Structure 1
Amino acid sequence: MLADLYNTTLLCLDKFYTLLWGAPLLILIMGVGLYLTVVLRGIQFRYLAYALKLVFTKQQHKGEKGDISHFESLMTALAATIGIGNIAGISTAIVAGGMGALFWMWVTAIIGMATRFAESILAVKYRTTDTKGEMCGGPMYFIQYGLGWRWLSTAFAFCGAIAAFGGGNMLQANSVADVLKETFSIDPLISGVVIAVLTGMTILGGIRSIGKVASFLVPMMVLIYISGAGLILLLNFTKIPGVFLTIFESAFTGQAAVGGFLGSTIVMAIQMGVSRGLMTSEAGLGTASIAAAAAQTDVPGRQALVSMTGCFLATIVMCTLTGLVLGVTDILGKTGTDGKLLTGAAMTMAAFKSVIPWGGYIVTTGLILFAFTTLVGYAYYGEKCCEYLFGEKLVPYYRILFTLIVIPGAVLELEIVWKVSDIFNGMMAIPNLIGIMALSKIVIEEKRAFTKLLRQEAIEESA
């Protein structure tokens, strides 16, 4: 009886997921990104260098308001963005769509940078403060205060609060518990309790605590992963040009079968590349703009540029490194010890271990840190959605519940949670994109005012 109910529920969720994440939503996300790229005159190309400078250098500007620095804001957003998708997600994309899927991930991320800029500039412009003096912003606020559509802002906040428990909490805890069990034979229940304690210690202090933890862990985990991937690429540098050639060729022709890999078509490459590109960059979902609204900044445009770099760092840098490692190690089409085709985290781990004996520990460490920082990043997104819906009084209870949910997340089978999480992510994107398009004139005006300010600052510096 229960098994039949489980299977029926899963089947219904599968059908709804396929309907929601079909061509219309993908076209909407890509279409909004392309439109913004044009009307903002390629903001992601023209100002990327300046945006990275803002991220990695300490600069003070008059009239700054906010709870955390530019860097801490970006690290909080990257904490939620850079996760198991950068290790496991790209592997599954390549297994299904071939190496050409990586090209379409690049395209999606580059276009998505304009969307991230737009949603962040609106988040800062329409942010407000609560009774504790903390900044509150994101799609729910710019939709309400910019458009007056409370029904749409409520829909975003509701979906955001639910999605935080699924993909932002239980799935991350489950991933960490699985890795610790497989690598060190640690009981998932013990892992769950430890993760819950660490999560509680981090999120009970609010955004300032989360920002400090993220600004420490994110650079560290990225450095560890980049060092391992860089060493593998250095040892196989002669294969890199051939991998790039395969990526570009298979992006437009598909990829032939090899080993256990059955081959892929151009349609599969595009579909997997776009969907995984959205997963790893989160452009269009609106969540990253919640962290952007908390940043100390003088004008919305400056923080919007900082937030925009998240897409570049998470997808263009991190996913490219993983994809190149998979390419130079010729792991595609290989099978594991169980005789099954390698995919996901197991595929990435096998690629690292094939070159570096201790490479598996690099991937394990990356998965643990990526998953934990994603968990605490989504805790902030979820509590801000909860605060918008129910007020500040319920935030402490939300944090406690979010912490406790980690434990069952670590020990349960989560196939249904995966689907529910993906569905609510898609449902978050719709009101966010509608809000951005409806307020696109405001985005353009703010961008023009900001670029004018930059030109004036440049003149003053050269004088």
Structure 2
Amino acid sequence: MTLVDITQQLADMAWGPHMLVLLVGGGLFFLIYCRFIPFRYIGHAIDIVRGKHPDDGAQGHISHAGALSSAMAGTVGMGNIGSVAVAIMVGGPGAIFWMWISAIVGMATKFFTCTLAIMYRGKDENGDVQGGPMYIITQGLSKKWHFLAVFFCVVGLVGNFPLFNANQLVQIIREWLIIKPGYYPANESTFWIDLSLGIVVMLLVASVILGGIKRIASVASKVVPLMIMIYMGCAFYVIATHVTEIPYYFSLIITEAFSLNSVGGGILGTMLIGIRRAAFSNEAGIGTEVMAHGSAKTNEPVKEGLVAMLGPAIDTLIVCTATAMIILISGVWQGGEAQGVNLSAQAFEITMPGVGPYLLILCVVFFSISTIFTQAFYGGQCFAFLFGRKKLRFYQYFFLCAILFAATASLQEIVNIIDAAYALMAIPTMVSAILLAPKVRLASKLYFAKLANNH
């Protein structure tokens, strides 16, 4: 049995129908339980990000905008390019519809989990304030639940390795900048090329992640808005030049989502593929983004919950949809052997001849590197909770070495490993959020009542 077979079995076991109940069912519970109230304050959430409601003297490390940028650097990444391509190839166009549904309920999930991130922050051995599912569990729940905090961190060490992003970054550079121009034969082993590119990526990442969350937030707040603008500019061009085809593809996405003969294996199969890929893309309910928002400089939990709620809307409803439209319009999803980011690159080549793939490469560099920065912080938080912050350098060195494994492994092995880890991370994150949901609802009532009185 190969590594692909082993990892595939692990991923399939982790992503059974129970995950549908946990992530989508849990998100629906949050959506109804909060009575859709946070959704009425999206404008207020944007004002918070813009700095209109500062928290003077608040605890934390980074601003609301920095927290959102750091979280978005972790979510708006290769999941929006390579993972959408995987979703369409494996589940057909209908998988995109279930990604949308997952994003809508994911907005409610992020509101609850990231409000709790501020409500139940803990302190590390240095006395510094930290946030994340492990602190929500240890600070908010009784000791009988504390094993879930350890479980989350152990699985989080694997789930936050930079496997997918490093793999896809190396893949697109190798295929489009080395093999396609003819600098290397297409039919020969690329191991040494992949390893060399992996070393370059590793050194670049090391220069930033060894500086901690403040440096990560500083880089992310500059890079994330720029990379989204470039990528969405390409998407708008493609959509504008094929505007008459857009209604057809939206209709195709919806009809395929409910087709008994869909590529993904019927409605349930397509639904699971869409939810699986959405979880990888926007991370709602997984718990990683909770760690970024838990570092925000604020004493008002609901404010950070509102800021976090913007994440899935930007990530999945806007960026992933743009990628899906480019792939569907190009027609590359209907045949060929390209996988992941290379499928997206082929779509860009068809819809934006000549310049398209190279603009995508520029975006991929931004997307993947900034996501790796944030993953290093997430994994470091898990490691520090388990072993102490003084030993964090050991994890960071191991994290950097994982880039070399990712650069030389197959895409299927990488996807299976991350999928399995993400599913397991969702269990403690969602269970703790559901148990503590009444606390969030009470805090929301008080916050929104105070906000109404101030107006």
> TM-score, with normalisation over the residues of structure 2?
0.90
For 1:377-456, what aligned pairs fall within 5 Å after superposition? 377-413=374-410, 415-456=412-453
* Among 223, 230, 240, the residue aligned to 1:224: 230
**2: CA distance, partners of 1:72 / 1:410:** 29
Q: Which residue of 1 aligns with 2:178?
A: 185
What SS class does the counterpart of residue 274 from structure 2 fall into?
Answer: helix
For 1:132-281, what aligned pairs fall within 5 Å after superposition? 132=126, 134-148=128-142, 149-165=145-161, 169-185=162-178, 187-253=193-259, 265-281=266-282
**1: CA distance, partners of 2:11 / 2:405:** 24
Deviation at 1:54, TM superposition (A): 2.3
Pair 1:413–1:91, CA change in 2 (3 A): closer
For 1:22-33, what aligned pairs fall within 5 Å after superposition? 22-33=16-27
What SS class does the counterpart of residue 47 from structure 1 fall into?
Answer: helix
In the alignment, residue 387 of structure 1 is paired with which amino acid? A
What SS class does the counterpart of residue 67 from structure 1 fall into?
Answer: coil
Give yes or no for contact 2:133–2:291 (8 Å, CA) kept in 1. Answer: yes
Structure 1 residue 367 corresponds to structure 2 residue 364: yes
**1: CA distance, partners of 2:264 / 2:210:** 48
**2: CA distance, partners of 1:107 / 1:254:** 19
Q: Which residue of 2 aligns with 1:108?
A: 102
Structure 1 residue 71 corresponds to structure 2 residue 65: yes
Between stretches 317-326 and 181-190, larger displacement belongs to 181-190
**2: CA distance, partners of 1:374 / 1:408:** 17
What CA deviation, in whole Å up to 9, does each residue of 1:326-382 have, x standing for no partner? 2333443143xxxx3x55323222222112121111222222221111111110001
**2: CA distance, partners of 1:294 / 1:401:** 24
In the alignment, residue 452 of structure 1 is paired with which amino acid? A
Deviation at 1:215, TM superposition (A): 0.9
Give yes or no for contact 1:179–1:368 (8 Å, CA) kept in 2. Answer: no
Q: Which residue of 2 aligns with 1:309?
A: 310
Pair 1:409–1:306, CA change in 2 (3 A): same
In the alignment, residue 251 of structure 1 is paired with which amino acid? A
Deviation at 1:131, TM superposition (A): 5.3
Give yes or no for contact 2:125–2:388 (8 Å, CA) kept in 1. Answer: no
**1: CA distance, partners of 2:51 / 2:412:** 42
Structure 1 residue 49 corresponds to structure 2 residue 43: yes
Pair 1:12–1:116, CA change in 2 (3 A): same
**1: CA distance, partners of 2:359 / 2:403:** 24
Pair 1:82–1:361, CA change in 2 (3 A): same
Give yes or no for contact 1:96–1:264 (8 Å, CA) kept in 2. Answer: no
**2: CA distance, partners of 1:266 / 1:223:** 34
Deviation at 1:403, TM superposition (A): 2.4
**1: CA distance, partners of 2:91 / 2:302:** 37
Give yes or no for contact 1:100–1:254 (8 Å, CA) kept in 2. Answer: no
Q: Which residue of 1 aligns with 2:350?
A: 354
Give yes or no for contact 1:350–1:360 (8 Å, CA) kept in 2. Answer: yes
Q: Which residue of 1 aligns with 2:14?
A: 20
Pair 1:361–1:134, CA change in 2 (3 A): farther
What CA deviation, in whole Å up to 9, does each residue of 1:240-280 have, x standing for no partner? 22222222232223677xxxxx6863333322222222221
What SS class does the counterpart of residue 334 from structure 2 fall into?
Answer: coil
Between stretches 201-210 and 348-357, larger displacement belongs to 348-357
Pair 1:343–1:197, CA change in 2 (3 A): closer
**1: CA distance, partners of 2:10 / 2:332:** 33
What SS class does the counterpart of residue 29 from structure 2 fall into?
Answer: helix
User: What is the aligned length?
Assistant: 439
Q: What's the C-alpha RMSD, in Å, of the aligned pairs?
A: 2.1
For 1:309-328, what aligned pairs fall within 5 Å after superposition? 309-328=310-329
Gaps of 5+ in 1: 257-261
Q: Which residue of 2 aligns with 1:295?
A: 296
Deviation at 1:302, TM superposition (A): 0.3
What SS class does the counterpart of residue 185 from structure 1 fall into?
Answer: helix
Give yes or no for contact 1:43–1:114 (8 Å, CA) kept in 2. Answer: no
Deviation at 1:129, TM superposition (A): 3.5
**1: CA distance, partners of 2:272 / 2:411:** 24
Q: Which residue of 1 aligns with 2:187?
A: none
Pair 1:16–1:190, CA change in 2 (3 A): closer
Q: Which residue of 1 aligns with 2:283?
A: 282
Between stretches 119-128 and 241-250, larger displacement belongs to 241-250
**1: CA distance, partners of 2:66 / 2:56:** 19
Pair 1:157–1:278, CA change in 2 (3 A): same
In the alignment, residue 182 of structure 1 is paired with which amino acid? E
Pair 1:233–1:264, CA change in 2 (3 A): farther
- Quote the sequence identity (%): 33
In the alignment, residue 165 of structure 2 is paired with which amino acid? Q
**2: CA distance, partners of 1:61 / 1:123:** 16
**2: CA distance, partners of 1:70 / 1:241:** 37
Give yes or no for contact 2:114–2:308 (8 Å, CA) kept in 1. Answer: yes
Between stretches 262-271 and 285-294, larger displacement belongs to 262-271
In the alignment, residue 269 of structure 2 is paired with which amino acid? M
Deviation at 1:87, TM superposition (A): 0.9
**2: CA distance, partners of 1:196 / 1:118:** 35
What CA deviation, in whole Å up to 9, does each residue of 1:282-336 have, x standing for no partner? 111011010001111230000111111111111001011111222333443143x
What SS class does the counterpart of residue 58 from structure 2 fall into?
Answer: coil
Gaps of 5+ in 2: 180-192
What CA deviation, in whole Å up to 9, does each residue of 1:190-237 have, x standing for no partner? 322221122111111110000011111111111111011111111111
In the alignment, residue 219 of structure 1 is paired with which amino acid? P
What SS class does the counterpart of residue 172 from structure 2 fall into?
Answer: helix
> TM-score, with normalisation over the residues of structure 1?
0.89
What CA deviation, in whole Å up to 9, does each residue of 1:154-200 have, x standing for no partner? 111111122222xxx13322221222111222932332222112211
